[in-house]
A and B are shown apart, each in its own frame.
Chain A
Amino acid sequence: MSKNYNVIGHSKPKIDGPEKVSGAAKYTGDLKFPNMLHGKILTSPHAHARILSIDTSEAEKLPGVKAVITHKDVPTLKYGLSPARWDENIFCSEKTRFVGDKVAAVACLDEETCYKALKLIKVEYEVLPAVLDFLTAMDEGQPLVHEEYARNINTEIHQEFGDVAKAFAEAHHVRTDTFIGQRTYQCPIEPHSAISMWDAGKLTIYSSTQSPHYFQHYIAREFGMDIGDVRVLKTFVGGGFGGKLEPTGLEFAGAVLAKITSRPVRMFYDRAEMFAHNRGRHAQQMEITTGVDKDGKILGAYANFKMDGGAYTSLGIASAYYAGALLPMTYEFDNFKFDMYRVYTNLPACGAQRGHGAPQPKYAFESHLDNVAKDLGIDPMDIRIRNARRPDTVTPNDFKINSCHMKECLERAREISGWDEKKKNKVPGRGIGVSTGSFVTGAGYPIYRTDLPHASAFIRVNEDGTAATLYTGSVDIGQGSDTVLCQMAAEAMGYRYEQMKIVAADTETTPLDFGAYASRQTYMSGTAVKLAGEEVKKQILEMASFMLSLPPEDLDCEDGIIFSKSRDDKSITFQEAARKHFVLRGPLMGKGVYTPPKLGGTFKGAAVGTSPAYSFGAQIGEVEIDAETGEISVLGIWDVHDCGKVINPRLLHGQVHGALFMGMGESVWEEVLFDDKGKIINAELANYKMLTAMDMPPIESEVIDSYEPTGPWGAKEVGEGSTNPTLGMFSNAIFDAMGVRVNSLPLTYEKVWRALKEKREQEAAEKA
């Protein structure tokens, strides 16, 4: 059972709440600097085209235009996020590879002039045949998106653990199903922005970023600078979900425009440009084969996938590996084979979106598992409990699992959803489905190869002890890491949360942290913060020992009070001791650093999916289908999670709600759609159907009492993993309601209606 604490484990109000509710919070696009210019990027209107000429002379003549740049004015070094495949340039020089590829940029006195100037840049294109279908992109005779990548293959993975052929040969039942996942987009409500400025050869960029560190690293690399000469910082960030993890043209082109004009330049993507930049979830085809014994115990699984990478790599190599790597998490089996091709197409690049790589394969596997259960006449809940992963196990691909309450999550979800009752007394048109998920608590290895620690922090107590400031490179993009880390700092120091302040996510004033991705900060940044807090506490207890004439081992500090463990009459406040420390010894500070242990196997790609700890969760959903229209009403969703010790319950459940909301959108409504020329036809929020408050069903979110032995106070992740079960849960609930399986996402009303129609026609034909 987890223990009670003063600060952690409580729903402390968010540290940035007052600024955000009052409108005072400044996001990058809200900032202004003296003499600032506005910049915009000109993009390709064609999915695949050769650039014959670019004439910027008319644009340059327009009053108010201060600079126009093309590939001739910028470094030609290719960049990207996955280091194994740098394939993107600041501007295209020979050809453009998707509608939205960067061609030129302008800096002007105001935004309106930017739009006018872009129209005056004359680009002559020779339109080339485009690769728009990822399923045929590898075929002979297809045009090449990048000449250096034969058959448009970006990433190719072939892994086998154990002996899948043998497992299938010995199985009682072997089944294969194929599913399609659609392209979705993160859609943060805040558009991407960046403001670049130079001072004496040093570059400063304010950005709506999930990782100032990776931005700094890649921007310095592109311009051949020392990272010490590049400062990246953020103010408030209006959501990321994976889409703000890598520097964009806003930073690269903005830095060049700022250099040429010697003025700050503010750039932003409007909503359509955000969709075009994309880096959302890959569309993919997922063929899954599983062999089971007569009780439904999984003996082996084979995942044969193809992924639409779009025109560039982004973080897509990791996405491709993740798609397979996280499949053997929630169920135990020894034999696993994974084949994957991530292919280039002339569409916007895909990258990491919440649950990185895992939600769609989970949809496929969980849907497939229900099909298997039906073949065997086993209840979907029973087949899952029978196969559920246990603690202290190792996956076939060498991931070490410590804490794991998969079975308890399923059993509790079964209980609170009324699963057995609903299965027994089935209401026509209604269905109930279950699914599981698991996710990394931070990636075991950095995105680029480095031996730098993953997180570090320091805490400075002010001179009279009335406030303490946490300095961390970690990034609050809305998930609440600033709050949670201040709670952890206060808990470790024996201090009060209400007296904490934070300076975060600025490469100049805060110590290194890799940032907000892979659901890593509560655990990894939190471990560094805990160590920093403990260092402060050690020093303050030493000072109190001197002041109280008691041995330091006899003292402890909680909630701002230092007390003797043996005597009731001896105590002083944290403030008194902190002030004395400053007078006698100078600033009271503590520091902490975190590096994960060496994790994972030695096979190719073994690093992706490694993590010091994994979350687990089960979701159950109940739906009602209108057989006439295919309309899906969601009656309720129950989520039970094993995320270790909970630091802030309300923020945690907020993560589950948000993840479920995104997962629901991906399950039934959301999809980035293209016309036959590769142009997005719903690059706006009216037709990219994000759910409104009226569309959300009742949600019940619960946690299992859990303790992760390697985590700070036993904590694990929650933010991303909660998206993983949702798609499969919907698929299974619809299957249960109607007895038809929709094999492609999103599971729209129309697809459900068509599947029902086919079923009726088939039944009629059988009768006749």
Chain B
Amino acid sequence: MSNVITDKDGVKRYLITLNVNGDEHTILVKGNTTLTNALRDQLDLTGTKRGCELGDCGSCTVLFDGRPINSCMKLAVEAEGHEIITIEGVAANGELDAIQQSMINHAAVQCGYCTPGMVLSAKALLTRNPHPTEPEVREAIAGNLCRCTGYVHIVEAVLAASRGVLAPDDGAHATAGGAK
């Protein structure tokens, strides 16, 4: 259990240890500090984006014991004792993950604001289901809103990563199947 300190105004602060991307960080947070804000403001892990702060857009997605969650809907104090992976923890030793490389190759990134969350939701999917069908990919990223791409290249990129083929067959003609 975390240590509790009461400040001069009577507000409680919690001394917590977060395990983020394999590193342990001991920080002081308020009871109402969201995991998103703790990651961004105190650990400078700004790859976790703030898009709506209501759990609607998925920009703040992190992996919580391997499961994708909206970190804006999780209090920092609730995250103690859990393994958190942020987008900064996906590339191992500077080597991009297959999903990340596939996203680049397929031009699945436009403005990039939804991309960290998208990568993490896809990562969680491929970890538990290495060979998903297209509807399974669409379902897995349905909680991550993208305003730029219409999801077409994102779905292609995730499916390609699942097949270990990271490069698209390039051409002026692009087609993609969708959800039925």
Q: Tell which of B50, B96, B107, B150 has the most Cβ of chain A within 10 Å.
A: B150
Which residues of the partner chain A approach B49 to less than 8 Å between Cβ atoms?
27, 189-190, 238
Complex interface residues of chain B between 124 and 155 (CB less than 8 A to chain A): 135, 137-139, 141-155
Complex interface residues of chain B between 94 and 139 (CB less than 8 A to chain A): 96, 100-101, 103-107, 109-116, 119, 135, 137-139
Which residues of the partner chain B approach A646 to less than 8 Å between Cβ atoms?
172
As a 0/1 sequence over residues 34 to 62 of chain A, the CB contacts with chain B under 8 angstroms (1 = contact) are 00000000000000000000000000000
CA distance A219 to B110 in the complex (A): 28
With A24-B47, A684-B52 known as contacts, the answer to whether A700 contacts B112 (CB < 8 A) is no
Judged by a CB distance under 8 angstroms, whether A25 is at the interface is yes
Which residues of the partner chain B approach A270 to less than 8 Å between Cβ atoms?
53
Cβ distance B80 to chain A, nearest Cβ, rounded Å: 21
CA distance A107 to B50 in the complex (A): 20
A-B contact count (CB 8 A): 205
As a 0/1 sequence over residues 261 to 301 of chain A, the CB contacts with chain B under 8 angstroms (1 = contact) are 00000000011000000000000000000000000000000
When C-beta atoms are compared, the residue in chain A nearest to B179 turns out to be: A694
Judged by a CB distance under 8 angstroms, whether B51 is at the interface is yes
As a 0/1 sequence over residues 8 to 41 of chain A, the CB contacts with chain B under 8 angstroms (1 = contact) are 0011011011111111111101101000000000
Cβ distance A645 to chain B, nearest Cβ, rounded Å: 11
Complex interface residues of chain A between 609 and 664 (CB less than 8 A to chain B): 646, 648-651, 653-654, 657-658, 660-662
Q: How many residues of B contact A (CB 8 A)?
A: 67
Which residues of the partner chain A approach B137 to less than 8 Å between Cβ atoms?
693
Judged by a CB distance under 8 angstroms, whether B54 is at the interface is yes
Cβ distance B40 to chain A, nearest Cβ, rounded Å: 7
Q: Tell which of A29, A237, A698 has the most Cβ of chain B within 10 Å.
A: A698
Complex interface residues of chain B between 155 and 180 (CB less than 8 A to chain A): 155, 168, 170-179
Which residues of the partner chain A approach B46 to less than 8 Å between Cβ atoms?
23, 26, 30
Judged by a CB distance under 8 angstroms, whether A236 is at the interface is yes
Cβ distance A763 to chain B, nearest Cβ, rounded Å: 32
**Of A176-184, A443-451, A476-484, A709-717, the one with at least 4 CB within 8 A of chain B:** A476-484
Judged by a CB distance under 8 angstroms, whether A566 is at the interface is no
Which residues of the partner chain A approach B151 to less than 8 Å between Cβ atoms?
657, 661, 692-693, 696
A189→B114 contact, CB < 8 A = yes
Judged by a CB distance under 8 angstroms, whether A554 is at the interface is no
Judged by a CB distance under 8 angstroms, whether A191 is at the interface is yes
With A188-B111, A190-B51 known as contacts, the answer to whether A30 contacts B152 (CB < 8 A) is no
A684→B56 contact, CB < 8 A = yes
B91→A654 contact, CB < 8 A = no
Which residues of the partner chain B approach A32 to less than 8 Å between Cβ atoms?
44
Which residues of the partner chain B approach A13 to less than 8 Å between Cβ atoms?
104-105, 107
With A271-B52, A658-B148 known as contacts, the answer to whether A23 contacts B88 (CB < 8 A) is yes
Judged by a CB distance under 8 angstroms, whether A552 is at the interface is no
A16→B112 contact, CB < 8 A = yes
Q: How many residues of A contact B (CB 8 A)?
A: 65
With A478-B112, A651-B107 known as contacts, the answer to whether A191 contacts B51 (CB < 8 A) is yes
B50→A692 contact, CB < 8 A = no
Which residues of the partner chain A approach B106 to less than 8 Å between Cβ atoms?
650
* The residue from B51, B56, B104, B177 contacting A686, defined by CB atoms under 8 A apart: B56
CA distance A27 to B116 in the complex (A): 13
Complex interface residues of chain A between 559 and 609 (CB less than 8 A to chain B): none
With A478-B112, A684-B56, A685-B56 known as contacts, the answer to whether A10 contacts B170 (CB < 8 A) is yes
Judged by a CB distance under 8 angstroms, whether B71 is at the interface is no
Complex interface residues of chain B between 34 and 56 (CB less than 8 A to chain A): 40, 44-54, 56
When C-beta atoms are compared, the residue in chain B nearest to A31 turns out to be: B46
Which residues of the partner chain A approach B17 to less than 8 Å between Cβ atoms?
none
Judged by a CB distance under 8 angstroms, whether A242 is at the interface is no
Cβ distance A665 to chain B, nearest Cβ, rounded Å: 9
Which residues of the partner chain A approach B154 to less than 8 Å between Cβ atoms?
693
CA distance A686 to B96 in the complex (A): 32
* The residue from A188, A657, A660, A694 contacting B139, defined by CB atoms under 8 A apart: A694
Which residues of the partner chain B approach A30 to less than 8 Å between Cβ atoms?
40, 46
B90→A22 contact, CB < 8 A = yes
B148→A478 contact, CB < 8 A = yes
Cβ distance A622 to chain B, nearest Cβ, rounded Å: 12
Which residues of the partner chain B approach A648 to less than 8 Å between Cβ atoms?
107
Judged by a CB distance under 8 angstroms, whether B69 is at the interface is no
* The residue from B101, B115, B177 contacting A20, defined by CB atoms under 8 A apart: B115
Judged by a CB distance under 8 angstroms, whether A690 is at the interface is yes
Complex interface residues of chain A between 182 and 196 (CB less than 8 A to chain B): 186-191
Q: Tell which of B106, B113, B154, B173 has the most Cβ of chain A within 10 Å.
A: B113
With A13-B107, A690-B147 known as contacts, the answer to whether A696 contacts B178 (CB < 8 A) is yes
Which residues of the partner chain B approach A237 to less than 8 Å between Cβ atoms?
111
CA distance A698 to B151 in the complex (A): 11
Which residues of the partner chain B approach A241 to less than 8 Å between Cβ atoms?
147
Which residues of the partner chain A approach B112 to less than 8 Å between Cβ atoms?
16, 19-21, 25, 236, 238, 478
B51→A189 contact, CB < 8 A = yes
A698→B176 contact, CB < 8 A = yes
With A23-B88, A190-B49, A700-B175 known as contacts, the answer to whether A14 contacts B104 (CB < 8 A) is yes
Cβ distance A563 to chain B, nearest Cβ, rounded Å: 26
Judged by a CB distance under 8 angstroms, whether A396 is at the interface is no
B142→A693 contact, CB < 8 A = yes
When C-beta atoms are compared, the residue in chain A nearest to B54 turns out to be: A684
B107→A650 contact, CB < 8 A = yes
10 more CB-based (< 8 A) A-B contacts, given A478-B112, A658-B110: A13-B104, A24-B88, A238-B113, A654-B107, A657-B150, A690-B145, A691-B150, A692-B143, A693-B154, A694-B139
Complex A-B: 20 CB contacts under 8 Å: A24-B88, A189-B49, A189-B111, A238-B49, A238-B111, A480-B110, A650-B174, A653-B152, A654-B107, A657-B151, A657-B152, A657-B176, A692-B145, A692-B151, A694-B139, A694-B179, A696-B138, A696-B152, A701-B174, A701-B175
List the 4 closest A-B pairs by CB distance, nearest first. A23-B47, A478-B111, A238-B113, A20-B112
Binding site for B on A (CB under 8 A): 10-11, 13-14, 16-27, 29-30, 32, 186-191, 236-239, 241, 270-271, 477-480, 646, 648-651, 653-654, 657-658, 660-662, 684-686, 690-703
